[in-house]
Amino acid sequence: MRRSSATAILILVTAAVSLVVTLAGGNAYEASMRAGFIPARLSGIDTDYLAVPALLTPLSCTLLHAGLLHLAMNMLMLGFTGRETERAVGPWGILILYVVGAYAAAFAQWLPEPQSLTPMIGASGAASAVVGAYSLLFGRSRAKAIGPIPAQAVHVVWLAAAWTAINLMIGYAFLGAGVAVAAGAHIGGFLAGLALARPLLMWKWRRA
């Protein structure tokens, strides 16, 4: 795999699949029930749709979006942070971030409502892992140690708290407009990115 190609491949594949599904003019809800992440399916509850295996839906749901604006926002977020993050952790590192982020996002969405039949679609949870890694690797830390807690740990906590607050506010704002935002998934993906950033950075340099 060539250097700096993984982010572009993720964007191209996601955009191509999402555009085909969107422009095909099919039933968007049916597509989300077949390939979206549905917490209840992970809990063993079947739906009436012939669907992607439940364990693969954290990945398949990243290929579906609720319209062009949803797709554009996620791809811009991934493109902006993914390019620099990939330079730090390498193409395999960015793929690991994305895949683990997708599953962490799905788990965070499943945890509070394991019986929910509401499908989750979009790449924002997986992309949030890349944003988390980018924030930790490239964000300027002004945190100070608090007693026995080192400054680096304080910095991680502040990043997690800030991202959580941002997503809760966005979710609350969109709730008034009747649009559901998977804030839990965004937070789960972001936390995965924070956890993986430095191990992936060390792994890349050891391989080099």
* Tens-level pLDDT at each residue, the chain (208 residues): 444 489 999 999 999 999 998 887 667 788 899 999 999 998 988 888 878 999 999 999 999 998 888 898 889 989 989 999 999 999 999 999 999 999 999 999 999 999 999 999 999 899 999 999 998 888 776 667 777 777 777 777 777 777 777 766 765 655 554 456 778 888 899 999 999 999 999 988 887 6
Q: How far apart are CA 145 and CA 180, in angstroms?
A: 38
Enter the pTM of the model. 0.86
